[in-house]
């Protein structure tokens, strides 16, 4: 489960982008692209299942979706059955394809029913609209897989940033896509010097996505994994990744007029 107050992490955005969306039209199930060509636009796909990715009982999901459908019909929306499926697991969620409302109302319903994002389908793209933040991701229709955030494995990015040669020992260190998360400020457990943070979006053996983290102390020329630092350091690192994603979201909105951006993040006591 990802907290409703958290910035939606990259791995979860990728999961939304990879989702296979299908819509029932006149008794036949069709893909997202075909649905967008047949139905009117804007066309959204919204669900009340499994709020904030926490698996609920079939009964609870059915009750929530009935309430969502009631709310949509009260808005004079046209509602059709839809389903979103993770192509890499057995995770799927019964949903609704919705015509007749705008983005603001669609996003608001997604947030109200406990979801980080909803889908908008166009003839060319499957768009992911953030509900807990003003962010948007998009991809063309068809098979999709995420691109790594960089062309570096862990050894390469640590060498470039710190000048150190490290021997990570773990298979995940050889994955492509490791990035530098800047100086963390949290202390090294050995010498107390500030740690450098590195991360990579990976998948566990069961296909579950997660954010791998590694920490480097330049004074001791030491690389540490998440299990080698305490919970406070891990929490600070997670908050740092949230801040970096929020900053990227804000920077990606562009500037129409002269604007000054302020980046705010709430830290627990």
* Total structural domains within the chain: 2
- pLDDT value of residue 84: 97
- pLDDT value of residue 243: 87
User: Which range has the worst mean pLDDT, 21-30, 86-95, 118-127?
Assistant: 86-95
Q: Are residues 134 and 17 in the same domain?
A: yes
Q: Are residues 130 and 20 in the same domain?
A: yes
Three-state SS at 189? coil
Helix axes 58-74, 103-112, angle to 10 degrees: 150
- pLDDT value of residue 255: 46
Q: Which residue has the tokens 């979706």?
A: 65
- pLDDT value of residue 266: 60
Q: Are residues 36 and 126 in the same domain?
A: yes
Quote the domain boundaries for residue 54: 10-140
Tell me the whole-structure pTM to 2 decimals: 0.75
Q: Which of 119, 75, 73, 111 is nearest to 95 (CA)?
A: 119
Mean pLDDT of the chain: 89
Whether residue 149 is contained in a domain is answered as: no
Whether residue 147 is contained in a domain is answered as: no
Q: Which residue has the tokens 């002269």?
A: 258
Tell me the percentage of the chain whose pLDDT exceeds 90: 66
Whether residue 266 is contained in a domain is answered as: no
> Mean per-residue pLDDT for 258-268?
56
- pLDDT value of residue 36: 97
The predicted-structure confidence for 50-75, as pLDDT tens digits, reads as follows 998 888 999 999 999 999 999 999 99
> Mean per-residue pLDDT for 104-126?
96
- pLDDT value of residue 27: 95
Whether residue 89 is contained in a domain is answered as: yes
**How far apart are alpha carbons 269 and 266 in whole angstroms?**
10
Reading the block at residue 206, the tokens are 């069961």
Taking a C-beta distance cutoff of 8 angstroms, is the pair 178, 200 a contact? yes
**How far apart are alpha carbons 28 and 68 in whole angstroms?**
23
Domain termination site, one of 140, 172, 199 = 140
Whether residue 261 is contained in a domain is answered as: no
Whether residue 111 is contained in a domain is answered as: yes
Reading the block at residue 57, the tokens are 């009982």
On the question of pLDDT at 38 being above 60, the answer is yes
User: Which range has the worst mean pLDDT, 50-64, 105-119, 217-231, 236-250?
Assistant: 236-250
Strands of 20-25's sheet in order across: 28-31, 20-25, 78-85, 92-99, 43-46, 117-121, 125-130, 136-140
β partners of residue 194: 187
Q: Are residues 15 and 122 in the same domain?
A: yes
């Amino acid at each position: 489960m990802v907290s409703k107050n958290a910035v939606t992490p990259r791995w979860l955005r990728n999961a939304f982008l990879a989702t296979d969306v299908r819509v029932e039209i006149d008794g036949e199930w069709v893909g997202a692209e075909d649905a967008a060509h047949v139905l009117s636009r804007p066309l959204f796909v919204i669900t009340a299942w499994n709020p904030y990715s926490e698996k609920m009982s079939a009964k609870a999901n059915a009750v929530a979706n009935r309430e969502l459908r009631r709310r949509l019909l009260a808005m004079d929306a046209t509602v059709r059955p839809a389903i979103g499926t993770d192509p890499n697991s057995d995770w799927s969620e019964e949903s609704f394809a919705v015509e007749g409302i705008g983005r603001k109302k669609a996003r608001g319903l997604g947030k109200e029913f406990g979801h980080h994002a909803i889908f908008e389908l166009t003839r060319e793209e499957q768009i992911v609209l953030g509900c807990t933040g003003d962010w948007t991701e998009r991809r063309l229709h068809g098979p999709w897989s995420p691109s790594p955030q960089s062309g570096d494995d862990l050894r390469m990015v640590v060498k470039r940033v710190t000048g150190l040669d490290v021997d990570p020992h773990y298979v995940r260190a050889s994955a492509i896509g490791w990035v530098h998360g800047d100086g963390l400020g949290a202390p090294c457990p050995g010498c107390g010097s500030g740690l450098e943070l590195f991360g990579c979006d990976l998948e566990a053996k069961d296909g579950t996505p997660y954010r791998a983290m590694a920490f480097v102390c330049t004074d001791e020329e030491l690389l540490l994994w998440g299990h080698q630092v305490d919970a406070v350091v891990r929490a600070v690192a997670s908050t740092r990744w949230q801040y970096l994603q929020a900053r990227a979201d804000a920077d990606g909105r562009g500037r129409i007029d002269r604007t000054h951006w302020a980046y705010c993040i709430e830290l627990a006591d």
